Structure 1
Amino acid sequence: MLAYIWAEDLNHQIGYRGQLPWHLPADLAHFKRMTQGHPMIMGRKTFASLPGVLPGRPHYVLTRSANYAQSYADDQRVKIFHTKQELETFIGNDQRLNFIIGGASLFASFANQVDLLYVTKIAATFAGDVKMPQLPWSEFDLVWAKRGKMDQHNLYPYQFKLYCRKNSKLQLSSLEPAYNSAKTVILK
């Protein structure tokens, strides 16, 4: 089962010079809560942008570079794949939710296979050099949304949103409890 998780600004920017274009601690906490215990799939550049191997979740890195496999051969937390097919074969029978966290080429490559879209929409614009690829939005339904609280640490208006592919066999009740709370209101 595949999910995307990302944050974007009003212009769909997702990166700038190998980093996030903004600092939004609430989004980082959301990312950690959602991905904890789940495999994360990423490209080499996204992996390089992390502060290190994040605890509590396997890292699956898709790269053409043969050197990466040697560099992480002894690290059980990191598995290197050289082709999309090799990665798909490996995760094929995995019943866990596998999060694709970037970059843009991976988001584009799996757009017709992903079941869930976890997106943080930031109501501001930033300098950026990487945009989120166009997704088949008509194939997804918004199932949950929540406005974030601005404060001295989270300086921009933002919303967390979850979309599910229409006709998906996914059981939404198995997701994060916050998404199933009766108090949660879908904001459109």
Structure 2
Amino acid sequence: MELVSVAAVPDNLVIGSDGELPWERIPADKRQYRDRVADAVVVLGRQTFESMREDLPGRHQIVLSRSEREYDVESASPAVSVEDAVDAAESLGADTVYVLGGAAIYELFQPHLDRMLLSRVPGEYEGDVRYPEWDDDEWELASSSAEPGFTLEEWIRRPAA
């Protein structure tokens, strides 16, 4: 099973400010993101899950939380650790699982990721939440495509030496 992080990040990796994106929404990015995860199993933290309840991504959401254990959404399952989330995704028959954040979830999953799909938003922004930095020696930029308002980058983890 492949674990793939999906995030929009500016040059300074700030991904949030008081629970909101620190830049104007980019419709083309939202479309490609929604299309990508529409039929997939996704992993997200409880706060991110709660912020998306009106328009949940993916066909099944695995919600990682230390406190919540039940959700009143049929497509949501609880998890308490990365291993628990991976086990839940495997039980759902997922070939690819998309990790959607927030920051603590990205940080927990970073050592386990196979790929990162990053919408690179130009500029630097103020905020209180950051995407985790990564070691360039462990990752290779496999593709980059200019899109309206952002550049979509695909990073692949290099095989261990």
TM-score bracket for this pair, using the shorter chain length: 0.7 to 0.9
Secondary structure of the corresponding residue to residue 112 of structure 1:
helix
Cross-structure match for 2:98: 99
Cα distance 1:56–1:84, how it changes in 2: closer, same or farther (>3 A)? Answer: closer
Report which of the two structures shows the higher radius of gyration computed on alpha carbons.
1
Cross-structure match for 1:185: none
Deviations 1:116-150 (A, max 9, x none): 1000111122221101112233211111111112x
The whole-number CA distance in structure 1 between the counterparts of 2:74 and 2:55 is 11
- Residue 91 of structure 1: CA displacement? 2.6
Q: Which runs of 5+ in 2 are unaligned?
A: none
Stretches (4+) displaced over 6 A: none
Matches within 5 A, 1:26-175: 26-54=28-56, 56-66=58-68, 68-69=69-70, 71-72=71-72, 75-92=73-90, 94-149=93-148, 157-167=149-159
Larger fraction in strand = 2
- Residue 166 of structure 1: CA displacement? 1.6
- Residue 165 of structure 1: CA displacement? 1.3
The higher relative CO (CA closer than 8 Å, separation ≥ 6) is in 2
- Residue 95 of structure 1: CA displacement? 4.3
Cα distance 1:52–1:19, how it changes in 2: closer, same or farther (>3 A)? Answer: same
Query: What amino acid is the match of 1:107?
Result: Y
The whole-number CA distance in structure 2 between the counterparts of 1:95 and 1:138 is 29
Measured on the aligned residues, the alpha-carbon RMSD in Å equals: 2.0
The whole-number CA distance in structure 1 between the counterparts of 2:57 and 2:151 is 26
